[in-house]
Amino acid sequence: MAGTHDKVALKEPLFAAGLAFLVPGLGHLYQRRFFKAALYFVCIGGTFLFGMKIGHAKVVYLNLERGKQTWPYACQVWAGLPALPALFQATLRSREALEPNSFRQPIAGQFTGVIEQMGNAHGTLVGQLEVGQPKAAHAIDDWQANLKGVYKTADGEFPVTGRFTDISIEPQVAPDSERRVLGTFEGQVQGNPAELRGRVEGYIPRGLWDRYEAPFQERRFLDSDVNDLDQAHFELGTHFELGVVYTMIAGLLNILAIYDALEGPAYEDEEEREPATPPVPSGSPDPLPN
């Protein structure tokens, strides 16, 4: 006679399911189901991280605007904590943080850029860029943008100080590690009485929290007709779609892990049944009565 499997004793299933949502495998670790905890953490977490890696951490984001919703996020969000920042970025960030040439706090960062004179690259500027708060909101002409650093040319490196005019800066929040800066530089190179002046294009670093799972915007690049999403597709090619697919798979797999922490293994109950009587060959005598 066949029996049924014993059910696994689950410790606080609802709490364990919540932990499993936050971090794949954490709910199973809480239930002391160590093998499954390691399996889910490595497989699901690894799948999500691999998708983020090949997609340069740009493939998980959320847009809630009507007609522009990012439906893949409905799957990605089930990967838990690694995917939740996209929800924060899309719902709690101020509008100013997502717009170019707009900020609430002074900007400071290590600047690296190329200065052009007469349309030709003339040298490299490297140094600390500090942009002070304007006198009036969005009054770009009032920004005080100063640079102190080094001017590098084929002849060597020279200390330089100066300021930017006509400056444009990309948004505080965007899915890139660098924040682009354009402007005209006017400065003084140590040991050279002539003023250094030219058009400059360069970058300052963007913090991890300002770029991780940041949403793409319909805003245009500072001097381009290509928007953020089109630029990402151009840079990554098919890796963008693959990254989206891998992170979606990770989220869907974690739904199964959450269910397992809540309900336990999905055993199929076996019905009790009598062993079947073997068939009697044709032409053989009837079996003797008991």
Helix (H, G, I), strand (E, B) or coil at 81: helix
CB burial readout 57-88, b (16+ within 10 A) else e: bbbbbbbeeeeeebebbebbbbbbebbbbbee
This prediction has a pTM of 0.76
Please name the residue ranges forming H helices in the chain: 13-22, 26-30, 34-54, 73-76, 85-91, 208-211, 228-236, 238-263
Residue type, 43: C
For the record, the structure tokens of 122 come out as 């003339």
The partner residues of 195 in beta bridges, in order of sequence, read 188
Q: What pLDDT, on a 0 to 100 scale, did the predictor assign at position 240?
A: 93
Q: What pLDDT does 270 receive?
A: 45
Count how many Cα atoms sit within 13 Å of the Cα of residue 98 in the half-sphere of its side chain.
Answer: 16
Per the listing, tokens 């499954």 go with: 36
Show pLDDT as tens, one digit a residue, over the chain (290 residues). Answer: 444 455 667 889 999 999 999 999 999 999 999 999 999 999 999 999 999 999 999 999 998 877 677 899 999 999 999 999 999 998 888 888 888 887 667 888 999 999 987 656 678 999 999 987 655 555 555 667 899 999 998 888 999 999 998 888 888 888 889 999 998 999 998 888 888 889 999 999 999 999 999 988 766 556 566 677 778 888 888 999 999 999 999 999 999 999 999 988 866 454 344 555 666 666 656 555 55
User: Measured between alpha carbons, how far is 81 from 120 in angstroms, rounded to an integer?
Assistant: 47
What is residue 222's predicted lDDT score, i.e. its pLDDT? 60
Q: Are 50 and 66 in contact (CB under 8 A)?
A: no
